[in-house]
Amino acid sequence: MIGGLSFAFANPAILAALIALPVIWWLLRMTPPRPAAEVFPPLRILASVMKREETPSKSPWWLTLLRMLMATAVILAIADPVFNPRSNTLATSGPLALMIDNSWATAPDWERRVEAASALIDDAEAKDLAVSIVFTGERQHDATPGSAGTARNRLAAAGPEPLPADRRSAIAALQAAFKDAPPGTIAFITDSIEAPDGKTMAALAAIRAGGLRVIEADGSEAVALTDTSNESSGMSVTATRLKTDDRRTLSVVAYDTRGRAIANGAIDFTPGAATAKGTIEAPFELRNDFARIGIDGLSTAGATHLLDDGFRRRRVALLSGEARDLSQPLLSPLYYINRALVPYADLVEPRETDLAVAIPELLEQRPSVLIMADIGRLPEETYPVLAKWIDNGGTLIRFAGPRLAAAPADDPLVPVTLRQGERALGGALSWSEPQPLADYPANSPFAGMPRPTDILVKRQVLAEPTADLAERTWANLADGTPLVTTATRGAGRIILFHVSAEATWSNLPISGHFVEMLRRSVQLSRSGGIASEGKAVKAQTLPPYRLLNAHGLLVAETGNARPLNVAPGKEPLATPDNPPGLYGSEDGFTALNVLPRNAELKRMDMVAAGPHVAERLAGAESWSLKPALMTLALLLLLADAVIVLFMSGVFSRVKRASATAATLLLLVLAGAALLPSPPALADDTRPDDARILERLDTTHLAYVVTGEEDVDRLSENGLKGLTDFLTYRTTLEPGAPVGLDIAKDELSFYPIIYWPISASAPMPNPQAVSRIDAYMRAGGTVLFDTRDQFSSLGASSGGTSPNAERLQAILANLDIPPLEPVPADHVLTKAFYLLTNFPGRYAGSPLWIEATFDNREEPSNRPARSGDGVTPIMITGNDFAGAWAVDANGAALLPTVPPDEMQREYAYRSGVNIMMYMLTGNYKADQVHVPALLERLGQ
């Protein structure tokens, strides 16, 4: 080995050839042979005689250097440099003891650690030594020396754990196993992070092994996020690292619950600093969505910081003593609170004005905070409910006001005892001036905010002085009277602002400080639903919900993690029993992170280990530089050849010969490039493109060609009659009707296809039917007309007609939705004309369409049913085409049954409505609201 680099030459003797380099250099410089130097005055005459310049007597220095490099590369390649050469240096005096850290910091290079360990096991096997292997991240340790195969199996089964290394128990296991015969070698593949007790190496040295070998990585990946806190501009993130000697900038990313990166920031480590702070700048609303902070590019459990719902938006219930008056919002106290909290919290307000109903109703929604503005007395039965809720962790924020000032003094829901009545400052009968605010006390959550200078309090309620008033005060006036006081009740808290929540008593509610004070107060409250029933939870046990794996990902698999005991005031630690992750349930959970808050990573003290061999964790594979060097030499040789060719003028001669041709070619090319060339287009025209374009230009009515001439002619004439009617009555002007062969023709150009069913026509083949199916699925509509109202689809008839049987046969292969006759409130009845039925030549058959089930049972006063899309299928037996059919003169072809021209008119109207429904969908259903909309707009 050479120094710290794992690097050696397989044949170091060859390196002696490097001595020959100066000789090679001299040789290279000498060739071509030195010419006889001659002074020759008539040199000009000689020059005119000589054909061309000889090559200079000396090759340029860079060419010599190139050749020297080539020679060096060849010599080095033959010497065969090898990276990470391995040598078996295990002591044979006893078994090999392997202690492997599989903590969170080993996750990025775990493969290399496994390779290093398996190389050691191979060495032990080669020397016929037993192997004892322990992993510091595991719960139980079995340090009994075993065969190399067993150790290999255990190594393969182990993986990095999202936990700090627990070395004490592992060393204890080793000590127990090697009580009698010390091991020959202890190999400690470590993450270099010192355990909290700091005695790892001393304990290892105490085993008195034949040799101690410590294998460690450089620790640059051991970076952990230890703390986060919300600050005014963003979220502050604290990170600690193991390798402290360099400057490092890490990018931290905040992820939401779905793992999407939603914000990022940077942490700058100065050289020598083990901890650093960074900020993720994000608006408060966005910060509520943070679920996890990670370091970009480092996927370890330590580099992931889980956030629990302590960061979530709070639900805040608002309660006011006065009835809400919408016409004068600026006088309503809730108005200011509402405006201040809307960006930060979910606000709920009571529906009922009766407080006896409103308070239980609000508490039912499990708010974190209840804000009561100027409420003096609550109904008697609500006090225990509220007190219970506060005990369970609720936060009650109260604002003073005339009602509170007039309330009796024994109100249990104020933090301090209040004097009756309020104190007016700066009135006509008062000497005192309106008071500004003093600096916020240090124990106040408002500490850190600048002292507001522009706030003047004109009126307030006063607290009776008590011994602990000062420490329960969060804000004072300049004369020392408290402005905000607080008291904890059970797990909850009561906060009282001694001024009113609207601008009559002070201008606090209209200043930015009001927003910030409210935000901080709300942020103090407990998140998650706080119920008013049940008893207060002192210490709770939370089941594992999502656990962090070693690569910093949350997984649902909880393994044999045990429930986490959360006691107030005690931070839980990640242990093998409680691996880091989220504990609780979907509704509310507590995050447990790998490292405790504000932990610091320290490097292990290697001095305590005594004499030991320190090794770098290198990849176990040794690899040779020989091929690379040979390739380099070959490339240099090629470059040299090209250079020599250039210098001897080969290319220039070629160039000169072809210069004219090249110039000509260039000119031609430039000309071609400058000329505007027509864009090359692929010729993708199809034979019937013109027909398709014609079909697309205007809307066409289409019918299915059944193959029976009289039926098809009638269909065409019928649709022609409807087309004329549509053109005459509506803005829709369809083109000539189109007969379709459903087996071949493209169907998707037509909004509706009329299909007269004829039992005597040939049955369409399955491919044609499946095309119809695809057409209907893609949004088209088929209007089936059995034309047999006399033996109609209705249940009244005894049997089914042949046409109906044929229809059934066709529909048997189609995926059709449930059907119903057109309901009276369907759009079809209102799409253009108001219709009640849809007659054709016959009037008896209903028109069947796709059934809509929504809002069927709910009472609705809407005149039309809404629903998206149009029905893909319509079935009638009324022979529409027969009623619509006209001849060339516009005269009707067939009489209606009964012969009633109004019925024909209605048949046309049915056709118009169907077409309008086809083309506009439920837009027409919305049109029925127009009068209501107009009426609303008018107001």
Partner 1 sequence: MASIGHIVARTPSGEVLSRAQQRAMLVPDCLVEARRIANTVISGWHGRRKRGIGENFWQFRPYSEGESLSRIDWRRSAKDDHTYVRDREWEAAHTIWLWADLSPSMMYKSTLGAVSKESRALVLMLALAEILARSGERIGCPGVMEPVSARNAAERLATAIMLSPLAEGLPETGMIRGASDLVLIGDFLDPADEVMERLGPLARRGLHGHVVEIADPAEEVFPYAGRTEFTDPETGEKLTAGRAEILREDYQRAYRARRDSLGESLRHLGWTFIPHRTDRPASEALVAVHMYLSGMPTRATHGGLR
Nearest of 743, 768, 739 to residue 881 by alpha carbon: 739
- 30 counts as binding partner 1 under rule CB under 8 A: no
Min. distance of Cβ 47 from partner 1 in angstroms?
6
Min. distance of Cβ 29 from partner 1 in angstroms?
16
> C-alpha distances in angstroms, 40 versus 32, 37, 44, 46?
21, 9, 9, 9
> C-alpha distances in angstroms, 158 versus 4, 111, 543, 557, 877?
29, 11, 25, 17, 75
> C-alpha distances in angstroms, 653 versus 457, 643, 659, 873?
97, 15, 10, 82
- 40 counts as binding partner 1 under rule CB under 8 A: yes
Distance (Å, whole) CA 844 – CA 505: 78
- When the beta carbons of 57 and 663 are compared against partner 1, the nearer one is 57
Min. distance of Cβ 30 from partner 1 in angstroms?
13
- When the beta carbons of 233 and 648 are compared against partner 1, the nearer one is 648
Considering only 2, 19, 49, 442, the residue that binds partner 1 (CB under 8 A) is 49
Considering only 23, 47, 674, 834, the residue that binds partner 1 (CB under 8 A) is 47
- 644 counts as binding partner 1 under rule CB under 8 A: no
Min. distance of Cβ 42 from partner 1 in angstroms?
5
Stretch that binds partner 1, among 28-36, 112-120, 679-687, 796-804 (CB under 8 A): 28-36
Q: What are phi and psi of 779, to 5 degrees?
A: 115, 0
Count CA atoms closer than 13 A to 188's CA, side-chain side.
29
Considering only 2, 44, 685, 937, the residue that binds partner 1 (CB under 8 A) is 44
Stretch that binds partner 1, among 4-12, 30-38, 627-635, 892-900 (CB under 8 A): 30-38
Stretch that binds partner 1, among 36-44, 550-558, 784-792, 823-831 (CB under 8 A): 36-44
Q: How many other C-beta atoms are found inside a 10 Å radius of the C-beta of residue 364?
A: 13
- When the beta carbons of 33 and 559 are compared against partner 1, the nearer one is 33
Stretch that binds partner 1, among 31-39, 388-396, 504-512, 863-871 (CB under 8 A): 31-39
Q: Please provide the distance, in angstroms rounded to a whole number, between the alpha carbons at the two ends of the chain.
A: 92
Min. distance of Cβ 34 from partner 1 in angstroms?
8
Considering only 22, 32, 427, 931, the residue that binds partner 1 (CB under 8 A) is 32
- When the beta carbons of 19 and 36 are compared against partner 1, the nearer one is 36
Considering only 50, 680, 693, 937, the residue that binds partner 1 (CB under 8 A) is 50
- When the beta carbons of 48 and 140 are compared against partner 1, the nearer one is 48
- When the beta carbons of 43 and 669 are compared against partner 1, the nearer one is 43
Stretch that binds partner 1, among 29-37, 102-110, 797-805, 881-889 (CB under 8 A): 29-37
Stretch that binds partner 1, among 51-59, 343-351, 406-414, 870-878 (CB under 8 A): 51-59
Q: Decide: residue 895, CB within 10 A, 0-12 exposed, 13-18 middle, 19+ buried.
A: middle
Record the tokens describing residue 460, joined without a space.
């307030």
Considering only 5, 30, 43, 635, the residue that binds partner 1 (CB under 8 A) is 43
Min. distance of Cβ 648 from partner 1 in angstroms?
13
Please tell me whether residue 502 adopts helix, strand or coil conformation. Answer: coil
Considering only 4, 23, 48, 858, the residue that binds partner 1 (CB under 8 A) is 48
Q: Decide: residue 879, CB within 10 A, 0-12 exposed, 13-18 middle, 19+ buried.
A: buried
Min. distance of Cβ 44 from partner 1 in angstroms?
7
Considering only 4, 33, 799, 898, the residue that binds partner 1 (CB under 8 A) is 33
Min. distance of Cβ 646 from partner 1 in angstroms?
20
- When the beta carbons of 36 and 930 are compared against partner 1, the nearer one is 36
Question: If you search the block for the tokens 């938006």, which residue do you land on?
Answer: 313
How many residues of this chain bind partner 1 (CB under 8 A)?
22
473: which strand partners? 485
- When the beta carbons of 32 and 310 are compared against partner 1, the nearer one is 32
- The answer to whether 541 and 578 are in contact (CB under 8 A) is no
Torsion angle, alpha carbons of 71, 75, 77, 83, to 10: -120
- 648 counts as binding partner 1 under rule CB under 8 A: no
Q: Which residues have CB under 8 Å from 10's CB, separation 6+?
A: 79, 80, 81, 82, 624
Min. distance of Cβ 16 from partner 1 in angstroms?
35
Distance (Å, whole) CA 709 – CA 545: 73
- The answer to whether 622 and 222 are in contact (CB under 8 A) is no
Q: What are phi and psi of 371, to 5 degrees?
A: -110, 125
Stretch that binds partner 1, among 18-26, 43-51, 450-458, 600-608 (CB under 8 A): 43-51
Min. distance of Cβ 31 from partner 1 in angstroms?
12
Stretch that binds partner 1, among 11-19, 39-47, 163-171, 217-225 (CB under 8 A): 39-47
Nearest of 165, 224, 158 to residue 191 by alpha carbon: 165
Min. distance of Cβ 50 from partner 1 in angstroms?
6
Count CA atoms closer than 13 A to 124's CA, side-chain side.
30
- 410 counts as binding partner 1 under rule CB under 8 A: no
Min. distance of Cβ 25 from partner 1 in angstroms?
22
- When the beta carbons of 36 and 812 are compared against partner 1, the nearer one is 36
- The answer to whether 757 and 806 are in contact (CB under 8 A) is yes
Min. distance of Cβ 45 from partner 1 in angstroms?
5
Considering only 4, 13, 23, 38, the residue that binds partner 1 (CB under 8 A) is 38
Convert residues 52-71 into a mask of x (bound to partner 1 by CB under 8 A) and - (unbound).
-xx-xx--------------
- 46 counts as binding partner 1 under rule CB under 8 A: yes
Please tell me whether residue 445 adopts helix, strand or coil conformation. Answer: coil
- The answer to whether 319 and 375 are in contact (CB under 8 A) is yes
Min. distance of Cβ 58 from partner 1 in angstroms?
11
> C-alpha distances in angstroms, 11 versus 18, 79, 82, 386, 620?
13, 5, 10, 87, 21
Record the tokens describing residue 810, joined without a space.
């066709």
Considering only 2, 36, 330, 429, the residue that binds partner 1 (CB under 8 A) is 36
Min. distance of Cβ 63 from partner 1 in angstroms?
18
- When the beta carbons of 44 and 570 are compared against partner 1, the nearer one is 44
Q: Decide: residue 630, CB within 10 A, 0-12 exposed, 13-18 middle, 19+ buried.
A: middle
- When the beta carbons of 55 and 270 are compared against partner 1, the nearer one is 55
Count CA atoms closer than 13 A to 325's CA, side-chain side.
9
Residue type, 252: V
Stretch that binds partner 1, among 42-50, 227-235, 593-601, 764-772 (CB under 8 A): 42-50
Nearest of 135, 151, 16 to residue 96 by alpha carbon: 151
- 45 counts as binding partner 1 under rule CB under 8 A: yes
Min. distance of Cβ 220 from partner 1 in angstroms?
60
Record the tokens describing residue 667, joined without a space.
């000119």
Q: Which residues of 720-731 are buried (b: 16+ CB within 10 A; e: fewer)?
A: bbbbbbbeeeee
Min. distance of Cβ 680 from partner 1 in angstroms?
57
Nearest of 726, 708, 826, 810 to residue 763 by alpha carbon: 810
Stretch that binds partner 1, among 38-46, 184-192, 526-534, 655-663 (CB under 8 A): 38-46
Min. distance of Cβ 59 from partner 1 in angstroms?
14
- 42 counts as binding partner 1 under rule CB under 8 A: yes
Q: Which residues of 163-182 are buried (b: 16+ CB within 10 A; e: fewer)?
A: bbbbbeebbebbeebbeeee
Distance (Å, whole) CA 484 – CA 498: 6
Q: Which residues bind partner 1 (CB under 8 A)?
A: 32-33, 35-50, 53-54, 56-57
